[in-house]
Amino acid sequence: MPGCNLQRGAKPLAQRRGVRLMKKTFLTRVFVYSLCISFLFMANGFHWMIAEANQNIPVGQMVSHGGVKFEVSKNSWEKVETPFPVFEGMKIRTEKGEGILALAEKTRIEIGSDSLFYFHQSDQFNLLAGKISFRIQPDVPLRFKVGNLWISRSYPLQTARGSSVALTKDKEFAGSILMHTKGSVTVKNVQGLMSITNEDGAVLASLSSGESITLPSVVASSKPTLMAANAEPKWTEGPIEEEGFLGLSTRTWLGIASAAVVVGVVVGLSASGGGGGGHEAPVCP
């Protein structure tokens, strides 16, 4: 019949329009769901990646000459290439060489020969043997750990006008630390005010510019119960996590897998839901 033929000719056009509308709706749903899943992934898993990336940021950079080496694994050492990035927990020994360590804000630490050190944290320099000379800028919160001693900048209180109290700050904090072979420690203050405390927080000495002091091994040496912990860098304490696939930890891969599963489920539901309206009853028998 003529009317039926017209309806049959119009049906493919309507079906094409319906398919285009379904595809557009499907893509819109996928885009919206992807944004939601991305936000969920960032809120729950992305901070793991940031934390792992921060662990790979060097504390400073060292320029050296001579036989300077770093510890690759326990009792395994390799020679450094200058300039050399220094990371937290990395042991470095100079042997017959020397080095200059550059930190943030123009802070410099000169490492003498036969020295051994590592950064327990970015603001904690642990000296295990040898001699260092340092020059630290006012805004750099760096302190030194030598055996049982903590050596850091001190800020005296100075009375200002009225009843207010202000902190006095020097332009730079400079000095040197020498560990003798028998365990005693000599600390010299070149500029600024220096405070020396023990692990219990008791003040052992306060040095002004130009002053120095030598602490005997009985005072400077670590306590026997703490010696092993203090001599090891942070990355050797406790169980060591195995490096994951492609450098990512297991937690990070779990977060990525969870997000991928949720996206797959959402896409599957959208596809099944969008295709439900594609069946039409025939117009003509």
pLDDT digits (tens, 9 = 90+) for 48-57: 444 444 557 8
Angle at 107 between CA 101 and CA 110, to 5 degrees: 35
| φ, ψ at 235 (rounded to 5°) | -75, -10
CA-closest candidate to residue 237, choices 65, 147, 78, 120: 120
Cα 281 to its chain centre, rounded Å, is 64
CATH number for the domain spanning 232: value is: 2.60.120.1440
Q: Which helix (H) or strand (E) holds 63?
A: strand 60-65
**Which amino acid would we find at residue 13?**
L
Same domain, 134 and 252: no
For residue 186, pLDDT over 90 is answered with yes
Model confidence pLDDT, tens digit, residues 63-73: 998 889 999 98
Number of domains in the chain: 2
Question: Domain span at residue 266?
Answer: 13-44+245-277
* pTM, entire model: 0.59
Please indicate, yes or no, whether residues 157 and 191 belong to a single structural domain of this protein: yes
Cα angle 172, 177, 182 (rounded to 5 degrees) comes to 170
Asked whether residue 185 carries a pLDDT value surpassing 90, the answer given is yes
Q: Do 114 and 21 lie in a common domain?
A: no
Whether residue 285 lies inside any domain: the answer is: no
106 has a pLDDT exceeding 70: yes
Domain assignment of residue 55, yes or no: no
- 97 versus 268: which is more confidently predicted? 97
What local confidence, expressed as pLDDT, does residue 172 receive? 85
